[in-house]
């Protein structure tokens, strides 16, 4: 990477997103309102929450019928059975459980609490609802990238961010659950250090680093600033998506 | 957090660091050379490697006598027995091992590969050497912060960064192994979302996010750009250091 400086710009002014909303219109209007426009190599970071909302991934808990397994797991984890049913329906595997904690492998391969099913920043006026991850976050990122190009003319990268907890370390950072138009994993195997010895770090995770940098302006109140632009990083690339980040199961030492 | 934009600035021009070097002098000279000066609330991110080198944490492998346990573990992990001896001497607990992989809990509480003991970007001209983490990275950060204030007049935060691998996700990001002058964990428990419901994410890890953002300009060739300034983030704070990030052992689900 040759970049030596870059900027992270939070984009305010995006209204509450509803199912069917056109995010490209909302983003381009918000950019214009603060006198910004997209440039080639910009990376548009979008909080998962507004992608999910635009794609209609809200589910009314009253419509969910919990299975026997969900009811049992809800008792073990002190969670709502309908919520647990949703979590299980989104997951391939439960990794850890204890009261208040349910860590699973999402069908898309991400290991995360509650399969990303979330009830914060969701309108519960007409009954409790929960928001699921986008059906295919990489496809959502690719679509957004293509539509931003069509609308704004700029060849940008897109990263869909989600906050995530980690083993051993308190406090959330973020991960990329979807990506398009960037080099997600910068593979440097075979390169050497200044003394000619093989590098210790051979693969940099650009996508998660970008998501985490964006989080510093998104924070959790993503309803207020759900989009950030990263400008100046030279990580353009094609053909990699965020699913390549998932470590192969056979290399997983922490199942 | 009220920040809506910030900048990450790589600082080139710092020479190869040797034991006893004064990092404050090296950093302030490098800043002057590119026409930059430190401002209040800047966060100075420094790669662990140059802190360790300045503090003389290089060890000649020829001087290390491996124990029987180190020899056995070296066989299991296909690593050098002297290197394994160093790793064990820096660690409290081995979490996972397999050929090529040794994941431990460092005496300072960080879970990491090889206890951070590293042979890349180290001069081996006079025999194989390895570099250990700073003895007390939080103390190193506090000292650097104090000395930068004395030398440059600015009230900055300091984060000492190290690259780190994670379970389940390929590609390295970074963690903060030392911090001073910033709010390391932004505790938002009790705050509510836009609909009045408790926030899903209640503690943001500013320090790791800052370290990871800095990594995008540091890369692995930290000998070339071992320092980055983060400008515009409002995360000043006192009294928190990076050791508070370590999740309490009793809450650790992945030992």
Q: Hey, is the C-beta of B196 within 8 angstroms of any chain A C-beta?
A: no
Radius of gyration of chain B from its Cα atoms, rounded to whole angstroms: 19
Q: Taking 60 as the threshold, does the pLDDT of residue B220 lie above it? A: no
Cα A228 from chain centroid (whole Å): 13
Q: Considering CB atoms only, which of A169, A193, A217 is closest to B120?
A: A193
The answer to whether the CB of A180 falls within 8 A of the CB of A241 is yes
CB neighbour list of residue B204: distance below 8 Å, 6 or more residues apart:
A171, A172, A215, A219, A220, B1, B185, B186, B188
Q: What is the pLDDT of residues B55-98, one digit of tens each?
A: 999 999 999 999 999 999 999 999 999 999 999 999 999 999 99
Identify the residue among A50, A161, A170 best suited for mutation to test binding to B, counting B beta carbons within 10 A and taking the highest: A170
**Residues in chain A within 8 Å Cβ distance of B6:** 7-8, 216-217
Q: Taking 60 as the threshold, does the pLDDT of residue A229 lie above it? A: yes
CB contact under 8 A, A6 and B200: no
Residue, of A201 and A71, whose pLDDT is higher: A71
pLDDT at A137: 98
**Residues in chain A within 8 Å Cβ distance of B16:** 194
pLDDT at A190: 76
**Residues in chain A within 8 Å Cβ distance of B186:** 171
Main-chain phi, psi angles of B74, to 5 degrees:
-65, -40
Q: Considering CB atoms only, which of A9, A120, A167 is closest to B197?
A: A120
Please state, rounded to an integer, the average pLDDT across all residues of chain A: 92
Residue, of B230 and A222, whose pLDDT is higher: B230
Q: Hey, is the C-beta of B194 within 8 angstroms of any chain A C-beta?
A: yes
Summarize the confidence of residues B214-231 as an average pLDDT: 83
The answer to whether the CB of B130 falls within 8 A of the CB of B118 is yes
Summarize the confidence of residues B151-175 as an average pLDDT: 96
Candidates A224, A203, A95, A118; CA nearest to A164 is A118
Q: By percentage, how much of chain B surpasses pLDDT 90?
A: 80
Q: Hey, is the C-beta of A220 within 8 angstroms of any chain B C-beta?
A: yes
Q: Taking 60 as the threshold, does the pLDDT of residue A78 lie above it? A: yes
**pTM of the full predicted structure?**
0.95
- B215-224 in b/e form (b: 16+ CB < 10 A) is bbbbbbbbbe
CB neighbour list of residue B94: distance below 8 Å, 6 or more residues apart:
B73, B88, B102, B103, B104
Main-chain phi, psi angles of B145, to 5 degrees:
-60, -45
CB contact under 8 A, B246 and A169: yes
> Which residues 234-253 in chain B show a CB within 8 A of chain A?
244-247, 252-253
Summarize the confidence of residues B148-160 as an average pLDDT: 97
Q: Hey, is the C-beta of B72 within 8 angstroms of any chain A C-beta?
A: no
Q: Taking 70 as the threshold, does the pLDDT of residue A221 lie above it? A: no
CA distance B51 to chain A (A): 17
Residue-wise DSSP of chain B: ----EEEEEEE--PPPP-TT--HHHHHHHHHHHTT----TT-EEEEEHHHHHHHTT-EEEGGG----HHHHHHHHHHT--HHHHHHHHHTEEEEEEEETTEEEEEETTS-EEEGGG-B-TT---TTS-EEEPPPS-HHHHHHHHHHHHHHHH----EEEEEEEE--SSB-SBEEEEEEEESB-SEEE-TT-B-TTSPBPS--EEEHHHHHHHHHHHHH-S-TTTS-EEEEES---B-SS--GGGGBPPGGG-S--
Q: What is the pLDDT of residues B3-32, one digit of tens each?
A: 489 999 999 989 989 999 999 999 999 999
Q: What is the pLDDT of residues A126-153, one digit of tens each?
A: 789 999 999 999 999 999 999 999 999 9
Residue, of B188 and B205, whose pLDDT is higher: B205
**Residues in chain B within 8 Å Cβ distance of A193:** 120-121, 220-221, 223
The answer to whether the CB of B160 falls within 8 A of the CB of B178 is yes
Summarize the confidence of residues A73-94 as an average pLDDT: 97
Alpha carbon distance B181, B162 (integer Å): 18
Summarize the confidence of residues B107-116 as an average pLDDT: 96
Cα A129 from chain centroid (whole Å): 20
pLDDT at B144: 98
pLDDT at A1: 35
Alpha carbon distance A48, A25 (integer Å): 17
> Which residues 155-174 in chain B show a CB within 8 A of chain A?
163, 166-174
**Residues in chain B within 8 Å Cβ distance of A212:** 173, 208-209, 212-213
Q: Considering CB atoms only, which of A120, A168, A195 is closest to B193?
A: A120
Q: What is the pLDDT of residues B47-57, one digit of tens each?
A: 999 999 999 99
Does the complex come out with an ipTM higher than 0.85?
yes
Tokens at A143, concatenated: 């679509």
Alpha carbon distance A243, B134 (integer Å): 35
**Residues in chain B within 8 Å Cβ distance of A16:** 194
pLDDT at A201: 63
Q: Considering CB atoms only, which of A209, A224, A246 is closest to B215?
A: A209
Summarize the confidence of residues A36-40 as an average pLDDT: 96
pLDDT at A166: 95
Q: Taking 80 as the threshold, does the pLDDT of residue B131 lie above it? A: yes
pLDDT at B238: 80
Q: Taking 80 as the threshold, does the pLDDT of residue B163 lie above it? A: yes
CA distance A161 to chain B (A): 13
Q: Hey, is the C-beta of B55 within 8 angstroms of any chain A C-beta?
A: no
Q: Taking 80 as the threshold, does the pLDDT of residue A220 lie above it? A: no
CB contact under 8 A, B167 and A111: yes
CB contact under 8 A, B172 and A203: yes
Q: Hey, is the C-beta of A223 within 8 angstroms of any chain B C-beta?
A: yes
> Which residues 115-134 in chain A show a CB within 8 A of chain B?
118-124
């Amino acid at each position: 990477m040759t970049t030596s400086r870059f900027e992270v710009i939070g984009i305010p002014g995006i209204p509450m997103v509803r199912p069917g909303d056109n995010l490209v219109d909302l983003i381009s209007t918000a950019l214009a309102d603060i006198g910004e426009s997209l440039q080639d190599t910009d990376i548009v970071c979008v909080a998962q929450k507004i992608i999910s909302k635009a794609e209609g991934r809200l589910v009314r808990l009253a419509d969910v019928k919990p299975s026997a397994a969900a009811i049992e797991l809800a008792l073990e984890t002190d969670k709502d059975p309908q919520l647990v049913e949703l979590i299980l329906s989104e997951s391939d595997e439960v990794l850890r459980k204890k009261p208040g904690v349910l860590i699973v492998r999402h069908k898309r391969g991400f290991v995360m609490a509650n399969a990303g099913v979330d009830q914060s920043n969701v309108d519960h006026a007409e009954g409790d609802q929960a928001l699921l991850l986008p059906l295919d976050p990489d496809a959502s990122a690719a679509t957004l990238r293509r539509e931003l190009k069509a609308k704004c003319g700029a060849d940008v990268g897109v990263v869909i961010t989600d906050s995530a907890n980690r083993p051993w370390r308190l406090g959330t950072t973020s991960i990329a659950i979807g990506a398009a138009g960037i080099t997600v994993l910068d593979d440097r195997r075979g390169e050497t250090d200044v003394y000619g010895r093989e590098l210790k770090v051979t693969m940099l995770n650009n996508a998660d680093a970008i998501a985490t940098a964006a989080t510093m302006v998104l924070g959790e109140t993503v309803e207020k600033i759900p989009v950030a632009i990263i400008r100046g990083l030279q990580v353009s690339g094609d053909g990699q998506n965020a699913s390549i980040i998932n470590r192969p199961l056979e290399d997983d030492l922490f199942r």
